């Protein structure tokens, strides 16, 4: 680079090209940190004391401290040319972290000895490190007795701490007070000539490498040995301070950009929510609805930029479907009231012939169960009036498990927010003759609903599914022949239905009784309109799929562009200045 600097103007120019990427600002922060430790963030000054001379002074100080028995002697190997990850400016030097400070980890006093805890000494654990630059206080303290008896390193104000275990690997802090730590934290007292803020910045920039170097399974860790053996790019002390000041300036700018982005997203979310809420408002007349719908259709492709917004759009489509606002009504359609009459006649015939058992009368629908006004030709009904029967399995199926045989549908085979069965893991059973083998045998068109735990998960049995059964956690709804289409399954995954599933859940393990299922309130359209609704839902969900795929593709493209631009910005000045 000509002047080896990276200004706020360049940062803004780069951000302007990558701002649409989801992780633009976090990546930009890491990019600034990377520039800082490579010597590409601020201009070098020939009058600065070179790092090579600084290393000589550090070595002399280290020798003095060892001789005074203030620190233990440690041998640190020089960094070989092959270990150098990048080329440094002329007045910088490679060394190792073990050469620029005194390092040591802490310990945990015996939990069974009460005289070791509750004292005046701050005792930090790895989870309390959160990249703080002035850390004070702790969740627990230890006594002076614990410090004297234990193998503690007493860390001083200004020391740099790094977490070595688990999910917190690489988390940092600069102490604002004297403290000890547990064995999951390593502390460093930098020698004169090494600014603790620059060391902090270096460790922050190298966090990903520490994660990559961690070992272990459930509890990965990075050892002190690996930390102190890490090659360290040392600038002149004066430049260290200039780098820290520049990083602070650029990070403050990143904070402003992040706040602005959050603000834009919040406005976009409010506009999206308002646009969709207008469509489902209970008091919207037909003319106003058409106006709101046109605005939503024109605006949503621009407003919708995240997958979670597509989920909201899908829910809105289903909400419109069950409210009669998705397709036009046709006065020639047989009204839902007449459909209900025909279904009642068919149920009476099946009862008389013994094909159905007599069922308890269902209560009338109360006014407080009516959430919105239905279109002309629709009718409120209970699910039990539209079904041949509702049942569930028993607890005794485990003894019938087999490697071959009928499919046994469990909750894990049901879907959230859809009714497609998930059949990647199937249990097989040898069904007993009679009893459960008859009552819970599934047929094509049966709708399954989870009634314990995660209530409201769904499944629709296809016509060619074959022999299959259910357990006690799943309700089976067998619709009357006229209701065996996909209107009921689409209804069940709508917010209107999910609210009903969630409302009466009981007990420690949420449960939804079979009586709740039979009394489920259904906004019933004419049969012909049901078919039109399902077709329209299919078409709109396909558009949502396309929109979601385009968002994913765009995000991938943005990520690739971000990678390319950040790589470009690390190249010589002629390329950087073009960014």
Q: For position 576, what pLDDT does the model report?
A: 34
The pTM of the full predicted model, rounded to 2 decimals, is: 0.62
Same domain, 319 and 345: no
Strand pairing class (406-409; 447-450): unpaired
Question: CA Rg, the chain, in Å?
Answer: 34
Q: For position 2, what pLDDT does the model report?
A: 42
Same domain, 353 and 413: yes
Same domain, 352 and 411: yes
Residue 540 lies in a domain: yes
Looking up residue 356, the CATH number of its domain turns out to be 3.90.220.20
Same domain, 367 and 312: no
Q: Furthest-apart CA pair in the chain: how many Å?
A: 104
Instruction: Provide the CB-side half-sphere exposure for 151 (13 A, CA).
Output: 5
Same domain, 497 and 351: yes
Q: For position 150, what pLDDT does the model report?
A: 85
Same domain, 305 and 346: no
Residue 539 tokens, joined = 């078409």
Same domain, 211 and 288: no
Please say which residue of 192, 218, 234 terminates a domain: 234
Same domain, 221 and 138: yes
Same domain, 135 and 224: yes
Q: For position 573, what pLDDT does the model report?
A: 40
Measuring CA to CA, how many Å separate 393 from each of 358, 400, 402, 413? Answer: 20, 13, 17, 15
Residues 334-392 have pLDDT tens digits of 999 999 999 999 999 999 998 888 888 899 999 989 989 999 999 999 999 999 999 98
Same domain, 540 and 403: no
> Hunting for tokens 């193998």 — which residue is that?
151
- Say how many domains are in the chain: 3
Query: Which parts of the chain register pLDDT below 50?
Result: 1-3, 508, 572-579
Residue 91 tokens, joined = 């007045």
Structural domain span for residue 199:
95-234
Residue 576 lies in a domain: no
Same domain, 344 and 369: yes
Q: For position 95, what pLDDT does the model report?
A: 97
User: DSSP secondary-structure letter at 539?
Assistant: H
Please say which residue of 499, 523, 547 terminates a domain: 523
Q: For position 559, what pLDDT does the model report?
A: 63
Residue 89 lies in a domain: no
Residue 407 lies in a domain: yes
Same domain, 264 and 361: no
């Amino acid at each position: 680079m000509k002047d080896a600097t990276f200004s706020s103007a360049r940062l803004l120019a780069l951000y302007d090209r990558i701002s649409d990427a989801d992780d633009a600002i976090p990546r930009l922060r890491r990019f600034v940190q990377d520039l800082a430790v490579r010597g590409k963030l601020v201009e070098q000054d020939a009058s600065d004391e070179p790092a090579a001379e600084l290393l000589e002074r550090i070595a002399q100080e280290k020798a003095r401290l060892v001789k005074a028995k203030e620190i233990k002697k440690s041998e640190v190997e020089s960094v070989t040319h092959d270990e150098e990850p990048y080329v440094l400016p002329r007045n910088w030097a490679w060394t190792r972290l073990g050469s620029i400070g005194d390092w040591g980890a802490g310990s945990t006093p015996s939990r069974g000895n009460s005289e070791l805890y509750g004292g005046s000494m701050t005792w930090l654990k790895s989870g309390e490190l959160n990249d703080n630059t002035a850390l004070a206080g702790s969740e627990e303290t230890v006594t002076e007795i614990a410090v004297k008896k234990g193998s503690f390193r007493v860390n001083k104000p200004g020391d740099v701490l790094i977490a070595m275990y688990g999910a917190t690997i690489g988390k940092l802090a600069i102490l604002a007070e004297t403290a000890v730590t547990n064995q999951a934290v390593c502390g460093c007292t930098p020698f004169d000539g090494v600014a603790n803020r620059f060391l902090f910045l270096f460790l922050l920039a190298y966090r990903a490498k520490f994660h990559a170097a961690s070992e272990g399974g459930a509890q990965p860790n990075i050892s002190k040995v690996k930390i102190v053996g890490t090659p360290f790019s040392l600038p002149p002390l004066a430049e260290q301070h200039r780098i820290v000041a520049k990083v602070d300036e650029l990070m403050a700018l990143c904070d402003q950009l992040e706040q602005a982005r959050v603000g834009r997203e919040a406005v976009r979310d409010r506009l999206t929510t308002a646009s969709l809420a207008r469509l489902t408002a209970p008091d919207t007349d037909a003319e106003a609805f058409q106006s709101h719908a046109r605005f939503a259709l024109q605006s949503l492709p621009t407003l919708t930029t995240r997958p979670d917004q597509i989920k909201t759009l899908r829910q809105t489509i289903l909400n419109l479907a069950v409210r009669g606002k998705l397709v036009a009504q046709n006065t020639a359609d047989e009204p839902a009231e007449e459909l209900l009459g025909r279904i009642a006649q068919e149920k009476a015939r099946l009862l008389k012939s013994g094909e159905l058992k007599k069922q308890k009368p269902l209560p009338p629908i109360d006014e407080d169960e009516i959430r919105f006004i239905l279109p002309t030709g629709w009718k409120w009904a209970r699910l039990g009036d539209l079904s041949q029967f509702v049942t569930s399995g028993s607890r005794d199926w485990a003894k019938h498990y087999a490697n071959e045989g009928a499919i046994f549908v469990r909750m894990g085979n049901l879907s959230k927010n859809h009714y497609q069965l998930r059949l990647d893991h199937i249990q097989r059973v040898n069904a007993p003759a009679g009893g459960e083998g008859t009552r819970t045998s599934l047929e094509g068109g049966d709708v399954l609903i989870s009634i314990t735990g995660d209530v409201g998960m769904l499944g629709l049995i296809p016509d060619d599914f074959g022999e299959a059964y259910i357990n006690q956690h799943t309700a089976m709804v067998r619709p009357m022949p006229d209701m065996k289409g996909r209107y009921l399954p689409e209804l069940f995954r709508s917010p209107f239905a999910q609210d009903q599933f969630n409302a009466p859940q009981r007990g420690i393990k949420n449960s939804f009784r079979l009586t709740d299922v039979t009394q489920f309130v259904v906004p019933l359209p004419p049969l012909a309109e049901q078919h039109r609704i399902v077709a329209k839902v299919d078409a709109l969900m396909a558009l949502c799929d396309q929109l979601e795929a385009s968002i994913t593709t765009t995000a991938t493209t943005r990520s690739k562009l971000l990678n390319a631009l950040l790589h470009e910005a690390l190249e010589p000045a002629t390329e950087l200045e073009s960014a």
